[in-house]
Amino acid sequence: MSGDFYQYISYTDLLRNRKKVLRIKKTERNIVIGIPRALHYERYHVLWHGFWEDLGVKVITSPETNRQIMENGMKLAIDETCLSLKIFIGHVNLLLGTCDYIMIPRICNLGKRRDMCTRFYALYDLCRNVFRDSPQKFITYNLDMINGNDEEQAMTGMALSLGFTKSEAHKAYKKAKKKDVEAWKNKRKEQEARYKSNQTGILLAGHSYVIEDAYIGRPITEALKKLGVTVIRGDISDISNALKQSEKLSPTMRWEINREIVGNVYENKDHVDGLILLSVFPCAPDSMTNEMIVHKIKDVPILNLVLDGQSGVAGVETRLESFVDILNFKGGRL
């Protein structure tokens, strides 16, 4: 069967004609999936890329965040949403028309008291509504462990809807998950090496999509490195241990990412010189959990840094410099 087959059937028909389609070799399925490089991309990219590439699907991602993307997102999003969502919408906007499907997963929770911010509940439907006038199709998977949708089931379900077989999908998921676990281990190894550094150590507590964002978060790590500081990331940890630790600091905290960060902070606060709470304006969970950290942790200097996408780098740099000076002074290095 030739590639022309795709010309006259829609993708919903694909599901119906699965058996016919399946006779085609994997590599001949010319589906292109677009993934915005924002929000959960940083946390899941190994899994997502691994999964689709194993299925023979071409994956394209948006470029790293730049001023243009952020400003486009700001125009399209509701004024009061958080900066990270605005950036996400900017990325989705850039992907419109460049791929068959844009993948926007709905990641709700990983179990009891392991919720994501409600923003992730809405993400898929939100984007569908913002870009309703565009013919772009979106694809999602629904990770909701409380209601019995685990990651494997959700992701393979998504592949099934595109016409892949069950065995193909499960195999791809397992392979990708293995890669994902491996990548996380490597990240943790790098992290542990940082603790051994002799420089002033600062634990940067923030969501991975803020810290890793090329436009808003990375300038901060760069600036800190320039000041001779070893930046230890709060978002990389042994997750099950961090979750246990977080219960010691705050038993009813309910957000997965915040619990990972808070647990990590609680465990390692004595191994660092200072703590920077990095969040975007107006992050819903951070507005409360950072307050809790400030109330409960009294023996480590804390800088509460909120990014709003408006301020130039200079203002932030000044604050970082003075904070690092205080730490060095306190540690007898100045």
Partner 1 sequence: MTEKRKIGFPRMADYNYALKYLIEKGLEQQYVMQPSMTQKTLDIGSRYSPDTVCTPFKTTLGSMIEALESGADTLTMIYGPCRLGYYGELQEQILRDLGYEFEMINLAAYDTGKKKDFLKAVKRANPKVNLAKLAVAGAEAMQMTEYIDDVTSHYYKNCGFEQEKGAYKKAKERFLSDMNAARSRHEIEDGYRQVKERFRSIPLDKKEYPLRVGIIGEYYTTMDAFSNLEIEQKLADMKVEVHRWMNVSHRNIHYGGEKNLKVRIQDLCEYEMGPTASANIWCARDYAERGFDGLIHIKSAGCAPEIDVMPVLQNISKDYKIPVLYLTYDTQTSDTGLMTRVEAFYDMLLMRKKVIG
What secondary structure does DSSP assign to 208-224, as a single string? HHHHS-TTTTHHHHHHH
Instruction: Summarize as ranges the residues that interact with partner 1 (CB under 8 A).
Output: 78, 80-82, 106, 112, 115, 117-119, 121-122, 124-126, 128-130, 132, 140, 142, 250-254, 281-285, 287-292, 295-296, 306
- Shortest separation between residue 151's beta carbon and partner 1, angstroms: 16
Per-residue three-class SS string for 135-171: CCEEECCEEEHHHCECHHHHHHHHHHHCCCCHHHHHH
- Shortest separation between residue 287's beta carbon and partner 1, angstroms: 4
With respect to partner 1, which residue has the nearer C-beta, 143 or 272? Answer: 143
CB crowding 36-65: b at 16 or more within 10 Å, else e = bbbbbbbbbbbbbbbbbbbbbbebebbeeb
- Shortest separation between residue 32's beta carbon and partner 1, angstroms: 22
Residue 35: enclosing H or E segment and its boundaries? strand 32-35
- Shortest separation between residue 114's beta carbon and partner 1, angstroms: 11
With respect to partner 1, which residue has the nearer C-beta, 192 or 308? Answer: 308
- Shortest separation between residue 306's beta carbon and partner 1, angstroms: 8
Axis crossing angle, helix 41-54 with helix 166-195, rounded to the nearest 10? 140
With respect to partner 1, which residue has the nearer C-beta, 31 or 123? Answer: 123
Residues 6+ apart with CB under 8 A from 74: 86, 90, 309
Please name which of 126, 132, 123 lies closest in space to residue 96, comparing C-alpha atoms.
Answer: 132
- Shortest separation between residue 144's beta carbon and partner 1, angstroms: 9
- Using DSSP, how many helices (H) and how many strands (E) does the chain show? 14, 10
With respect to partner 1, which residue has the nearer C-beta, 94 or 277? Answer: 277
With respect to partner 1, which residue has the nearer C-beta, 251 or 332? Answer: 251
Residue 204: enclosing H or E segment and its boundaries? strand 200-205
With respect to partner 1, which residue has the nearer C-beta, 122 or 214? Answer: 122
- Shortest separation between residue 256's beta carbon and partner 1, angstroms: 13
d(CA 202, CA 271): 9
With respect to partner 1, which residue has the nearer C-beta, 43 or 86? Answer: 86
- Shortest separation between residue 109's beta carbon and partner 1, angstroms: 10
With respect to partner 1, which residue has the nearer C-beta, 22 or 292? Answer: 292
d(CA 2, CA 127): 34
Residue 172 near residue 31 (C-beta atoms within 8 A): no
